[in-house]
Each structure stands twice: as C-alpha cells, then as structure tokens.
C-alpha cells in the first residue's frame, strides 16, 4: 500500500461529499500509477453517491466517485510496455475484468461474466479490495485497462470522453449513424452534448430534443441542425415519424412511448440515461412500425481507444466548466437543475491539502 492520498467521498447516501483520504496499491509488474489531473463529473456519480440505483446496484460507502479520469503516468511496473513515465493516460468506468469469458474475449469487458471491476462502487477482481474513483489524486491500474490520450486533445476536455464519449460513440456506431441518418439526441447535458458533436461529425442530420429553451443556441453551435422543445406537446406531435435513431440521455423518469412515436418505421431508440424507477412501455408503441427499443452501456477498452483516436482526429472534446473539489456538492445540485454547460470537470490539483 502507498501512503494515504487525498480523495473526496460520499460517507452515506444522504451526506454531502467530504475529504476522505484513501490508499492505493503499489504498482505491480503490469500496473501503471497515474497522477490524476482532471476528473469529469458524470450524472451516474450522483445516482450512485445517493444510492438511487439501490435495487439493481446498491451503493457501498464511503464512496469515492469519478470515472472520467485523465492524468500523467508517474510509475510503471517492470512488464509494462504500453506506457512510459510522463505519458498521459485515461481511465474510464472499469479498471479490470476476468480477461477470459466470452464478453471479455469479444472486447466487451464491461459485460464480463464475472462482473468487471468497476472504477468505483465495486471491488478489484479479488472481490475484496474496494475500488475508489477519480475524485482522488492518484490511481493504479493494469496497463491493459488504461487508455492512451492522443496528442491534440486538451486534457481537461478529454476527461469526459472516458464515459460520456464512449457511452454515446458506441451506440452511434452500432446503429450505423451516417449521412443517411436522421438522429434525435434527447437531453442536452454531459452525454447529450457529446452525442450531438459525434453524430454531426458522422454526417447525420441532428435534432436536439430538450426541455431547456435556453440551450437552443448552444445546441446549434455544437452541431445540431434543429432544436425542438420537448416540454411543448405541439412540437412532439409535429415530429411524429421523423427519426431513424433516437439517443435518450434523460436521467429522470419520462414517457418512453412519447419518444417512440417520433421514430420512423424500423427506427430505433437507444436508452443511455438510467432513471432510478422502471418505465412502462406500451407494446403498441413498438409493434406499430417494427420499432426497436434498445440500451447501451459504455463500451469496451478497444472501442474506447478507437473513440479517443476518433475524437482527436475530429478535434472533439467536451465543453467543460472546471471546478475545484470544494464545489463538488454545489455542482451536483446544479446538474440536478440541468444547469451545466455541459460537463463539470474537477481540477484535481485542488484536492492537495484537503
């Protein structure tokens, strides 16, 4: 174990985050030790810090959230070949998996049959050692689960790509987003704004579907060709049967049937947001038009690297507001009011001395 390092944790589901020093392991032969420079704030951090997914993924406290991590390699184990000291590196939503089950062999490590070692609110594959996320100054990861951050990406703006980027890139690729696709992105937050940039970069015709009128100008700057206010039922009516693909990033309960009505026959709606409560789906919303209701969860390591390289080639980063760690509880409250443009990123230097 290394000496204790600064971190911030949620002590319980109802308490604000506070300083909570942690220890990390000494790097083993295949490990890299990363000094964390920036960590994005994902809405999943809020769901988990507040135990909102208690039924499917109960929270374990104290919890150090954060899975949008970018930093600099400070030590490497004897057998490490992918990284050298001084390289930049990223860590996303998981830090290990079994390497041998079918999903792992198919590069879908996030669906490891033994359950991946998620970056926080989980355990290492020994199933004993708790994992702690990126609201901390340092992390130790097996090199295979660390990503190369290509030159050309600004580090703070690259951090959110490690979750928001791969979560939106993967379904856009899977559902063959192209110049022939009419895509609707539902919800303009952390995931939504990256989804707009990515879908536009793939040549699709992109419509932003949002509850916040004040975000219209931004949506267009991000690359959306149209903006529709979803809080106005007249707008939804007019959009019936319009989209090939809908990417739903809403974090709270909402009527899926309403959005399914906006798909063309054979269209697909991919759910990325994870509202805490189950949503009723009327089968008629699906069968009338042979529609698909799908989900998508982050992406494997190879696809995450592909996404980072793609973003570097297209100069796509997140639009961010950098905050010191002392503002984290306020940032959570602002995200709950859809008041973030469009991702908070913690400057990890602010943890030193806390």
Distance CA 352, CA 21 (A): 11
**Cβ distance to ligand NAP smaller for residue 261 or 273:** 273
Question: By the 8 A CB rule, do 119 and 66 touch?
Answer: yes
Beta strand segments in 175-275, E: 182-186, 205-210, 226-229, 243-248, 263-271
- Binding residue (CB under 6 A) for ligand NAP from 64, 141, 147, 340: 340
H/E stretch holding 201: helix 190-201
Q: Which is nearer to ligand NAP, 3 or 217 (by Cβ)? A: 217
Scan for tokens 């390699």, then name that residue.
73
**298 contact, one of Zn ion, ligand NAP, none, CB 5-8 Å limit per kind:** ligand NAP
Q: Which residues of this chain interact with Zn ion, rule CB under 5 A?
A: 42, 44, 97-98, 101, 104, 112, 163
Judged by beta carbon distances under 5 to 8 A according to partner kind, the member of ligand NAP, Zn ion, none in contact with residue 97 is Zn ion
Q: Pick from 140, 188, 196, 268 the residue near ligand NAP by CB under 6 A.
A: 188
CB of 249 to ligand NAP, least distance (A): 5
- Pairwise CA distance, residues 112 & 178, whole Å: 30
Q: Which does 104 bind (CB under 5 to 8 A by kind): ligand NAP, Zn ion, none?
A: Zn ion
H or E segment and range at residue 294: strand 292-295
Residue 206: Cβ within 10 Å count? 28
What tokens does 344 get? 């908070």
* Helical (H) or strand (E) element with 168: helix 164-174
67 binds ligand NAP (CB under 6 A): no
Which CB atom, from 125 or from 318, has the smaller least distance to ligand NAP?
318
Taking the complex as a whole, the smallest distance from the CB of residue 318 to ligand NAP amounts, in Å, to 10
Please, which of residues 253-312 interact with ligand NAP by CB under 6 A? 254, 272-274, 296-298
Interacting residues with ligand NAP between 12 and 41 (CB under 6 A): none
Q: Are strands 18-19 and 147-148 parallel, antiparallel or unpaired?
A: unpaired
> For binding to ligand NAP (CB under 6 A), which residues are involved?
42-44, 47, 163, 167, 187-192, 210-212, 215, 249-252, 254, 272-274, 296-298, 335, 338, 340
């Amino acid at each position: 174990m290394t000496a204790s390092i600064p971190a911030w944790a949620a002590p319980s589901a109802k308490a604000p985050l506070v300083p909570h020093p942690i220890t990390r392991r000494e790097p083993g032969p295949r490990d890299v030790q990363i000094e964390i420079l920036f960590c994005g704030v994902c809405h999943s951090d809020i769901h988990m810090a507040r135990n909102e997914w208690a039924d499917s993924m109960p929270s374990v406290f104290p919890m150090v959230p954060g899975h949008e991590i970018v930093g600099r390699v400070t030590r490497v184990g004897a057998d490490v070949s992918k990284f050298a000291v001084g390289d930049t590196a990223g860590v996303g939503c998981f830090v290990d998996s079994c390497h041998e089950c079918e999903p792992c062999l198919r590069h879908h490590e996030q669906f490891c049959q033994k359950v991946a070692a998620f970056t926080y609110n989980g355990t290492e594959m020994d199933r004993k050692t708790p994992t702690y996320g990126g609201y901390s100054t340092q992390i130790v990861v097996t090199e295979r689960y660390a990503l190369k951050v290509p030159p050309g990406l600004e580090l703070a703006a690259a951090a959110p790509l490690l979750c928001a980027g791969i979560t939106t890139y993967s379904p856009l690729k899977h559902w063959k987003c192209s110049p022939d696709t009419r895509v609707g992105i539902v919800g303009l937050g952390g995931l939504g704004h990256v989804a707009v940039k990515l879908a536009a970069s793939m040549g699709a015709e992109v419509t932003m579907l949002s509850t916040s009128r004040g975000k219209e100008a931004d949506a267009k700057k991000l690359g959306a060709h149209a903006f529709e206010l979803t809080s106005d039922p007249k707008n939804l009516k007019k959009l019936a049967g319009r989209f090939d693909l809908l990417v739903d990033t809403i974090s709270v309960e909402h009527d899926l049937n309403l959005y399914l009505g906006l798909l063309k026959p054979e269209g697909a709606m991919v759910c990325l947001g994870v509202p805490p409560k189950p949503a009723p789906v009327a089968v008629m919303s699906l069968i009338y038009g042979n529609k698909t209701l799908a989900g998508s969860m982050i992406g494997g390591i190879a696809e995450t690297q592909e996404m980072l390289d793609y973003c570097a080639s297209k100069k796509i980063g997140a639009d961010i507001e950098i905050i010191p760690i002392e503002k984290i509880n306020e940032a959570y409250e602002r995200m709950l009011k859809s008041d973030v443009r469009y991702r908070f990123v913690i400057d990890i230097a602010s943890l030193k001395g806390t």
